[in-house]
Amino acid sequence: MEVTIQKAVLCAVSDDLGKVAGLPVFLAGDDASRQEKARYLARILQATVHDLGDGVLIVVKH
Amino acid sequence: MPHGNSIGLGLLLGALARIAMLRSDYRHYPTYPHSYTSHLFLGFIAALAGSVTVAALLEQEWTAVTFFLLVSQQFREMRSMERDALKAMEDDELVARGSDYIEDIARVFEARYYIVILVSAASAFGFEIGSIWLGLLFGLLSFAVGAFLMVRRRLGDIVTVEPAPVIVQERNIYVGDVFIMNLGLVESREIIQEHALGAILVPKDDNARGTIANPGQRQAIVHDLAAVLGARKDLDTPEFTPMAKRDLKTGRVGVYIVPMEKDQGALLEALRRVPILESARGGALNTRAGRKARKGR
């Protein structure tokens, strides 16, 4: 039986480490690099990126 | 051979009934040649069980009757066979069928064998008490009754399907005024803006509202859409999975898909033709409380 993680926030991409806690966070200063990092993470993890605003993107496995 | 002709007629009509019910569009699985073979073979067995039971009854061979009734019981296995096959493939579908849809398909497959048994038994009985013509008539009548019982309602019968634009508003995606999801990637939002199609299902009455609220029914809708239109999606782009979201204020459902070919007409037609799942069929209006609520309006 294959076991996969579902319905979980896998990691976050943010411009400030203080905005996210309890998750792996990738730091990216500007919009363009946040988008790039989030895109790579989403494709690698087969997950979806959601934008919480205030410079925080989360990568969620649905 | 006594009863040979009646058994022959029952066998023939039963097998023909199974062939007539072997539909092979994308939804009705099997579209696989090996499944054809096994279903035709089992259809033959079902027809044999039906027609021989009549002969055994007339001869008062109770052991044989019991035995063939036992054989008919075996067709209950059909449901689990279909369910297992579809469940096994579920993980490898880009857009899953969902367990409600699988259960619904499996039930239909099981019921088809009971219709074969009914047709072959009815035609064999007609032959025994009258002539080949009476046998044919009984066979046709029972097939018609079976077909009538198996008629499926479609989504187009219970909802109005309206085209609606897919709107990308900052980080949110809407179909018309129905919220679909929050999406972080600009690149994906641009693809959605360019390629996505939307529609809104407006229920015709409160029963319909209950039906399209059912998550299993909505999963069946998006699976069918992806099967017909093709989803522009791979395993690493789950945001392009077609979705059907409910507008809680009105009970309408917004449907979103990023298809391979952008054809609004095909989307609306595919939506209208989605089967209504038995498990999702809303019946609230037919209850005592529902009738009261309707009168009170």
Domain count of the fold of chain A: 1
The whole-angstrom distance between B37's CA and the closest CA on chain A is: 30
A44–chain B Cβ distance below 8 A for any pair = yes
**Which residues from chain B sit within 8 angstroms of residue A49, using beta carbons?**
183-185, 188, 239
Q: Tell me if chain B has a CB within 8 Å of the CB of A40.
A: no
**From the candidates A5, A48, A62, which should be mutated to test the interface with B, based on the most B CB atoms within 10 A?**
A48
Q: CA B126, CA B268: separation in Å to the nearest integer?
A: 46
What pLDDT is attached to residue B1? 65
- In this structure, is residue A3 part of a structural domain? no
The two three-digit tokens of residue B93, written as one number: 């579908």
Q: Do A62 and B187 touch (CB under 8 A)?
A: no
CB pairs under 8 A between A and B: 41
* Contacting residues for B161 by C-beta, under 8 A, at least 6 apart: B155, B199, B200, B201, B202, B268, B271, B272
* Chain B touched by A10 (CB under 8 Å): no
With residue A56 as reference, give the H or E element that holds it.
Answer: strand A56-61
Nearest CA in chain A to B183: A50
Q: Which residues of A touch B188 (CB under 8 A)?
A: 49
Q: What residues of chain B lie within 8 A of the CB of A58, using their CB? A: 184
Q: Is the pLDDT of residue B30 over 60?
A: no
Instruction: Answer yes or no: is A20 within a domain.
Output: yes
- Pairwise CA distance, residues B192 & B180, whole Å: 12
Nearest by CB to residue B184, choosing from A38, A43, A46, is A38
Q: Would you say B250 and B285 are in contact if contact means Cβ atoms under 8 Å apart?
A: no
Count Cβ atoms within 10 A of the Cβ of residue A3 and give its class: 0-12 exposed, 13-18 middle, 19 or more buried.
Answer: exposed
Q: Mean pLDDT across chain B, nearest whole number?
A: 88
Does residue B35 have a pLDDT over 80? no
Asked if A42 and B91 come within 8 Å (Cβ–Cβ), the reply is: no
Chain A residues within 8 A of B239 when measuring between CB atoms: 42, 48-49
ipTM of model = 0.89
Across the interface, do B184 and A2 touch by the CB < 8 Å criterion? no
Choose among B184, B187, B236: nearest Cβ to A51: B184
Digit-coded pLDDT (tens) for A18-40 = 999 999 999 998 999 999 999 99
Interface test with A, best of B92, B170, B186 (most A CBs within 10 A): B186
* A1 occurs within a structural domain: no
Is A35 inside a domain boundary?
Answer: yes
Structure tokens at B55: 């002969």
Mean pLDDT on B138-161: 91
Domain boundaries, chain B: 4-151, 156-281
Question: Does the pLDDT of residue B29 top 70, yes or no?
Answer: no
Q: What is the pLDDT of residues B207-244, one digit of tens each?
A: 899 999 999 999 999 999 998 888 888 888 899 999 99
Tell whether A39 is covered by a domain.
yes
